[in-house]
A and B are shown apart, each in its own frame.
Chain A
Amino acid sequence: MNIQEYISSGIVESYVLGLASNEERQEFDQLYSIHAELRQAKQAFEKNLEQQALDGAVPPPAVLKQKLWNNLGLDSVGALPVDKPAGGKLAVLTPVRSFNFAKMLAAASVILLVASTLLNFYFYSQYKSSAAKLDELIASNQQYANNSNLMQAKLLQYEKSFDLIKDSNMAVIAMKGQPVSPQSFTTVYWNRQTKDVYLLVNALPKAAAGKQYQLWAIVDGKPVSAGLLGADANEGLVKMSNIAKAQAFAITLENLGGSKTPTVPIYVIGQI
């Protein structure tokens, strides 16, 4: 068979356009694989056919592409129809805007995080120093309270002493230092009505270890113990034993726990 005659018979066009019968198609397929000229002729016609169709293109309705994409369940972003500027613009703008918005959000949250961290440090240090100050204040407040209690106790004691002293029934016996301790001086306040005895230590040497002072009432020439003086008994009036009757008071230094009879020397003595 002359391939040129075959080609120019119109079989190529008939085949390409789908007008050839089954027998013609089978014959064409066989010759097609053998003859390069046939392949070239077919390719040339297909190319021309395509060009003709492109030249005569009629734009389909603009909505058709979106309908098709929806129909196929395709992602419409990135597959924007060229002939849909409005839809395209919207679809392009939206992700850009949301991207910027997301970026801004991220930036804002980072700034907020940093600011919040700094504030946290600031408030924490503030809190720490406030807590320290509060502790100091509590401590000093406690000290003031203690001092105040102490002062109040002292004040009460002085008030009590003063009340005792100003009592009209109170006899004041000044006891003068004797040769063993001339600088010593004490005062006994003796209530004639209640027979209460209070001792005020104005000045006495500190008692030696294992010793303590003892107050004696001299009743009809005989000494009667009126009680022992504690080591802390050098502030205010100290309540001693009741003495019903006496002519004088004297203080001696005795062994701890006191004695039944006084030992010499007498430190101070005063007549009523």
Chain B
Amino acid sequence: MSLKAKDQQSFSYLYDNYAGALYSIVLQVVPDKDLASDVLQEAFVNIWRKIESYDPTRGRLFTWMLNVTRNLAIDMVRSKAYQNNQKNQGMPENDFFEKAGNSLQLSVDNIGLRKVVNKLKTEHRVLIDLAYFKGYTHEEIAEIERLPLGTVKTRIRSALIQLRDYLK
């Protein structure tokens, strides 16, 4: 595969084709455009440097890039610097799940995967938001939502099945 040879032209092609799709994913996690740009750049740096670790037999290249990008975005949101910044702006830490379906995030509500997620029932959407866009484990979500772990798992699975159907 030419990308594994670190062919610059292939990388350029990759960027041109997927930067927008990945940027929309980042924006769903990090709404701030400047920070999101930083995350996207970091994501492509990682893609360029870690392309060797991508195994084509394990899945699509986009899926791999998506997970690299999403993980970086979540790391950013979870970083102390980001959390402090959010506090300084007077946004309480525990406020986010209340705003999950809130119009405050309108700018990214209608793009990409978020658009599909928004079709879900609120109880499902909140959990997907926490799990996928905020990167919380099922256990953490159970704690945050004060729900039994089993219920969290069942609801997330149910939400994912609906997502699959919406994506078709």
**Residues of chain A whose beta carbon lies under 8 Å from any beta carbon of chain B:** 8-14, 16-19, 21, 42-43, 45-61, 64-65, 67-68, 71-72, 74-75, 78-83
Contacts of B45 in A (CB 8 A): 68, 71-72
Contacts of B137 in A (CB 8 A): 21
Q: Is the CB of A57 within 8 A of B40?
A: no
The residue that B59 contacts in the complex, of A13, A46, A64, with Cβ under 8 A, is: A46
Contacts of B16 in A (CB 8 A): 81-83
- Chain B minimum-CB-distance residue to A77: B8
Max chain B C-beta neighbours (<10 A), residue from A19, A59, A65, A80: A19
In the complex, per-residue mask of B145-168: 1 if CB is within 8 Å of any chain A CB, else 0:
000000000001111110110011
Contacts of A82 in B (CB 8 A): 16
- Chain A minimum-CB-distance residue to B71: A18
Contacts of A17 in B (CB 8 A): 132, 160
Q: List 20 A-B contacts (CB under 8 A).
A: A10-B164, A13-B161, A14-B160, A21-B137, A21-B138, A46-B59, A47-B60, A49-B167, A50-B21, A50-B60, A52-B112, A53-B113, A54-B20, A56-B21, A56-B113, A58-B112, A60-B23, A67-B41, A68-B15, A78-B8
The residue that A10 contacts in the complex, of B8, B12, B114, B157, with Cβ under 8 A, is: B157
Q: How far apart sit A82 and B19, CA to CA, in the bound complex (Å)?
A: 12
Is B111's CB within 8 Å of the partner chain A? yes
Q: A43-B60, A46-B63, A57-B21 are in contact. List 12 more A-B contacts (CB 8 A).
A: A13-B163, A16-B63, A17-B160, A46-B59, A53-B24, A57-B23, A59-B19, A60-B20, A60-B40, A64-B41, A74-B11, A83-B16
Q: Is the CB of B112 within 8 A of A55?
A: yes
Q: Give the distance to chain A from B38, nearest Cβ to Cβ, in Å.
A: 9
Q: Is the CB of A13 within 8 A of B164?
A: yes
Q: How far apart sit A72 and B8, CA to CA, in the bound complex (Å)?
A: 11
Contacts of A53 in B (CB 8 A): 21-22, 24-25, 62, 66, 112-113
Contacts of B9 in A (CB 8 A): 78-79
Contacts of B59 in A (CB 8 A): 16, 42, 46
Is B120's CB within 8 Å of the partner chain A? no
Q: How far apart sit A61 and B8, CA to CA, in the bound complex (Å)?
A: 20
